[in-house]
Amino acid sequence: MKEVSFSAKSAVRVMKAAGLSPLVPYPGSGKPWRCKCDRCGKAVAPRYNSVQQTGGGCRYCGAATRGKQRRNQDSKVSKVMKARFARPLEPYVSAKSQWNCQCLKCKRTFRIRYDNARLTRVACPYCNGSRVDPNEIRQKLVSRGLHPVEPYPGSKKKWKVQCQECKLTSSRRTDGKVALRRPCPFCSRRRTHSQTAVEILDCAGLVPLVNFPGANKPWKSRCTSCLRTVTPRLANIRGGQTGCAYCSGHIVSPTEAKRVMQRAGLVPLTPYVSATAAWRSKCKKCLREVKPRYNDIKNGQGGCFFCAERGFDFSKPAILYLLKHTKKEILKIGITGSKTKESRLATHSRHGWKVIATWEKRNAVKIARVENDILNWWRRELQQKPALTNSQMPQGGFTETVSTNLVRPRTVIMRVNRLLGVPD
C-alpha cells in the first residue's frame, strides 16, 4: 500500500509539472486522468503515460502552441501584403482567416484571406476587377452618355441603360473594364435596331418577310422590282452591296439564263446548273454540240468555237505539244493548228524552248480538252503556279508553264497518252 501511495504522489508531481491539477485520484498509467489545465482552465483527461513521455498535457494549449509555431512571422506577412498594395488594419491571426485591410491605391477597406492575397498581384478586389463599386460604375456609364434605367443588379448580371443621344435601351455587363469603355452599341453601329434595319432595307428596295434576325444573318425579304424572294444580310447592304441578287446579276434564274443562251445562237440541251458550269448546248448555225459557260456568254464571248471568225479553228486538225526550256527547269504545254505548227514551235525555239513530244489529232476539241485536263492537274491537284510571268515570256503562253520540281516530262507524256488513248 505504501508503494502504491508513493506511485500516486509521483504521478501527481509529474502532472503538476505539466501544468495540470488532478481532479480525481490516480486511476493508473494507461487510463484517462481527469484534470484541470492551470493555463487555460479547461478540463482535460490525458493519460499519465503520455504526459510523462511527451511533457504535454492540455490538448487545447498544445493545439494553440502548434498553431503559433506554424504561423508566418508578422514581418513576412506585412512584407507580402505591402507588395500587393494592402495595409493590414488588425493583427494577423491565420492564413485562412478573414483579414481587414486597406488598399494603398484606392484607400478602400476590404476583407481577404492571406492565402488568397499572396496568390494575386493586387490584393484589393476593387483594383484587380473582381469586385465593383456601383457608384463608380454609374459615373463611368453617365460620362459616356448612358444612364441606368434600373437599380444595380450585381456584377454578374447585365445592367439596362439608355443612351441620351439615340434614346435606345441596351444592356451591358459591369464586371469588365472593356464593357465600360464602349459607347452606345447603336450609335457606334455595333448593333442595329430593328426599326433602323427596316429603313435600310426599304432604301435597298426590299420588303422584309420575317422579323430582323441580326446584321450578319440572312434576312428573308422580297424585292420590290422583280418580286423575287431573296435573303440578303444587312451588313452586306451597309457595305455597299445591292439587296436583290437577281437584279444585280449575282443569281440568275434558269429562265433568264436560257434566254441569254438563245440570244447567243445556242439551244440548251440540259437544265441550267450554275454560271461557271459547262452547259451542254447545240449551235443553231452549225448544229454542232458545244459546252460553253453561262458567265462566258454573259460577258460577250461567242458560244460556238466552231463558228468563231477568229482565233483557233476547232474544225481543223490540231497538235498538242510539250516543250522544255534549255536553260531552266520549266515545262510548257500548248496546242496549235496543223498549218501553223512550224511557225508557232519556231517562235518558242528562238526563245530557248525544245520540243519533247507532239500529238496530232483530227479532233481539235479533244486535243483542247486534254490540254485543259493537264493544266487542271498542275494547278488544282499539284497546287503548282505558272513558273514564268508575262514579262518573262514575250511570245505568250506563260500560263501554261510549270516547274519540273514536282512534274517530270515522262509523267506528263504518260498522262497525255492515257487521255488520248495512245499506247506508251
If you count DSSP H runs as helices and E runs as strands, how many of each does the chain have, helices first? 15, 19
Rounded to an integer, the average pLDDT of 362-368 is 81
DSSP letter at 278?
B
Task: List pLDDT tens digits, range 264-286.
Answer: 888 999 998 888 788 899 988 88
To 10 degrees, what angle do helices 364-376 and 409-420 make?
A: 140
pLDDT at 365: 78
pLDDT confidence tier of residue 298, bands split at 50, 70 and 90: confident
Q: Output the average pLDDT for the chain.
A: 84
pLDDT at 239: 81
Cα distance between residue 90 and residue 355, in whole Å: 95
Which residue pairs from 47-51 have beta carbons closer than 8 angstroms and sit at least 24 positions apart in sequence?
48/11, 48/14, 48/15, 51/14, 51/15, 51/18, 51/20
36-63 pLDDT per residue, tens: 999 899 999 999 988 888 877 888 888 8
Distance CA 63, CA 70 (A): 11
- Note the pLDDT tens digit of each residue in 221-263: 999 988 889 999 988 888 888 888 888 777 788 888 888 888 8
Strands 353-361 and 318-325: antiparallel
CA distances from residue 50 to 22, 30, 37, 172, 285 in whole angstroms, order as listed: 15, 8, 15, 65, 119
User: What pLDDT score does 173 carry?
Assistant: 77
Q: What does the pLDDT average to over 161-188?
A: 77
* 104 or 406: which leads in pLDDT: 104
Higher pLDDT, 197 or 68: 197
pLDDT at 364 over 50: yes
pLDDT band at 176 (very low <50, low <70, confident <90, very high): low
Question: In this structure, which amino acid lies at residue 95?
Answer: A
Alpha-helical segments (H) within 215-314: 234-238, 245-248, 254-263, 294-298
How far is Cα 107 from Cα 125, in angstroms, rounded to an integer?
12
3-state secondary structure of 263: helix
Residue type at 170 in one-letter notation: S
- pLDDT exceeding 90 applies to what percent of the chain? 21
pLDDT value for 310: 47
Neighbour-count burial of 72, counting CB atoms closer than 10 A to its CB (0-12 exposed, 13-18 middle, 19+ buried): middle
What element of type H or E holds 128? Answer: none
| pLDDT confidence band for 191 (50 / 70 / 90) | confident
What is the reported pLDDT for 62? Answer: 84
Work out the percent of the chain whose per-residue pLDDT is above 70: 91
- pTM (predicted TM-score): 0.40
Instruction: Look up residue 407 and give its amino acid.
Output: V
Contact 100, 107 (CB under 8 A): no
Classify residue 364 by burial, with Cβ atoms within 10 Å: 0-12, 13-18, 19+.
buried
What local confidence, expressed as pLDDT, does residue 139 receive? 83
DSSP character at residue 73: P
